[in-house]
Each structure stands twice: as C-alpha cells, then as structure tokens.
Amino acid sequence: MLKIGEISLNNRIIAAPMAGVTDKANRIMARSFGCAMTCSEMISDMGLIYGQKKTQAIADTEGEERPVSLQIFGSHPERMAQAAQIVEKLGADIIDINMGCPTPKIIKNGEGCALMLDLPRSRDILRSVVQGVKIPVTIKMRGGWEDGSKTFLELAGIAEQEGVKAIALHARSRMQFYSGQADWGLIKELKQASSLPIIGNGDIWSAEDAVKMLEITSCDAIMIGRAAMGNPFIFREAVELVEKGIKMPSPTVEERIQAAIRHLELACHFKGEQVAVREMRKHFSWYIKGWPGAAKIRVLINSAQTQTELIQAIRGCAENWVSDLAPALDL
C-alpha cells in the first residue's frame, strides 16, 4: 500500500490536478470510478490569503471521499506558507505545490515551472510550507525548463531534504508544454535517485499504459490527467488492470451518457445551473469524442443554456451512434 506521509492510498492510481477541469464535481466523479486520490485545480496563494470567494470555492472539499490533495501555487515563501495553513484548515489531507505549470501567465510571475529556474527560491518555499503545516506536502514538477535538463533531479534532492513526502513528475520539459512524447526514462531516473514515493505522469492514455509505466519506471503510483477528460472510466480500468490484472470492457454508450448526466447534476448542485451548464459544455464535448455525429452535436452542446438542453444534446448524439451501428448489428 502506498503511503504519503501518514496518508495511506488504497491503490496506485491518482487523478491529476488540471486547471479548469478538476473541480469538486470532477473529483467526485473520479473517485466514484475508483482512483485512490484526487487533487484540486491549482489555487492561488494570494487568492487564499485575500479570502476571494472564487478561490475558496475551488478549495472546498466538504463531503468528498478522502484523501483529497489541494494544489497551491505562488512564488513567495511566506505567502505560500500562509496559503498552505489556510487550505489545511479548509480540510486538505495533503498539500501539493505546483512547480510544473508551463503556461505563460503563471511563468511570468515566477510561479509554476519557473521555480525550476530558481532552486534557492524553491527550497525556501518548500521549507516554509513544510514547516508551516502538519499535513504531508508533495510537489508536482516537470523534467526541467527545456529538453535535456536534469533540474528535476536537483529539485527532487532539495524536496527530500526539506521534508516533502512525495513527488509527481510530468515527464516533459516546460518548453514541450503537452506536445511530443513524454520521456518515461526521466521517471525511472528519478525513482532510482530518490527514496521518496514517485508518481509518474505523462501520456497515460489507457489502463495498458499505466501497467507499462509501472513496469518501465518502477514508480510508486500513476497519475492520469488528460485521458480522464470525459472518460472517468479510465480510473476503473486502470485500477482493475494494475491491481488485479483484470481487463475491464469499454463502457457502453448508455454508461457514458449516465456518467455525463451525473457529472452535470453534481456541477449544477455545487455551482447552480447557469454556471454549471456553461462550464460543462466542454466536458460534454469530451464525453462524446469519437462518436458518430459528434461534431454536429457539439454545436448544440455549445449553445445549450439549460441542464435539459445539454442532456437532450448528448441523447441525440447517442441516437446517431445507435443508428449508425444498426446495419452492422442487424437491428
């Protein structure tokens, strides 16, 4: 059983934090399909310190299955420590520090992956946060700023010295963003160099990929991100194959529809129908990816104003699916 500090995880599959995606409704969906832990969208240290309502909503974990990690970002040690104390009080089980976000608006403030260019500052942040809270602290980082960089090894050493309890490594450089192929060799190298639990991340598109990463890198856990957008079933599939050697059948069309509707209902409950419908349009587009007629249905999804209209749109896409399959199935 994997442990992060004193927190035990019941399997080796973890849902990755993703800005604009892993809100409360998304995390509940992920846990319902079996992953061992979820993590929030990245949360601004200053938003927490100033008590911004939007930021506090992102940090809300009430009623969620445990453990839940809350990810914070910033560039000032004292502010990051203060933010960590706030999310600890809000109920976080683990605090994750974002040292891997590649987006320009984060980088320009010296946050996210920019911290990998300033290791002394990174050390100060880690020390301040670890000393400021009682719960485990983890970090999520990339291989480095550019291809061929070994900064991840240096930062991992600092993290271990400062009391960090686990490291998630997205095996790409900042300059790659999400292009090209993740270099799982970096994860293997980090696992060999560090005594901390190492969580591998990058290009896990199937349960089979999760098994391969574990075999190739010997990492302690797998973190799944983009492949779970509109596809929470991947968590169930990965857990069953990794932990039990059982290959799960692909979800049926109806199972996908029901998952999308459940996701929408949760979002409406937490955010109200107007906000939820607007935010769930992208999720519904992900749920129907690859279906016959999906492009046309996305037009309806993106114009939907109500919960009912969104559900009608995805039902319409399913009807196209069945209609297109009918000749082959002799229906």
Residues catalogued as catalytic: 101
Say how many CA atoms lie within 13 Å of 26 toward its Cβ. 28
CB 116 within 8 A of CB 122: yes
CB 310 within 8 A of CB 280: yes
Cα torsion 256, 260, 265, 266: sign: positive
Cα torsion 126, 93, 136, 140: sign: negative
């979800």: which residue's tokens? 251
| Nearest residue to 176 via CA among 208, 211, 131, 145 | 145
Residue 251, SS3? coil
| Tokens coding 201 | 């991340």
| Residue ranges in 90-205 assigned as alpha helix (H) | 104-107, 119-132, 151-161, 184-193
H or E stretch at 210: helix 207-217
Cα torsion 284, 288, 290, 294: sign: negative
What value does the CA radius of gyration of the chain take, rounded to a whole number of Å?
A: 20
- Distinct helix (H) and strand (E) counts, the chain: 14, 11
141 burial class (0-12, 13-18, 19+ CB within 10 angstroms)? buried
């039990």: which residue's tokens? 244
Q: Render 69-105 in DSSP notation, one character per residue.
A: EEEEE-S-HHHHHHHHHHHHHTT-SEEEEEE----HH
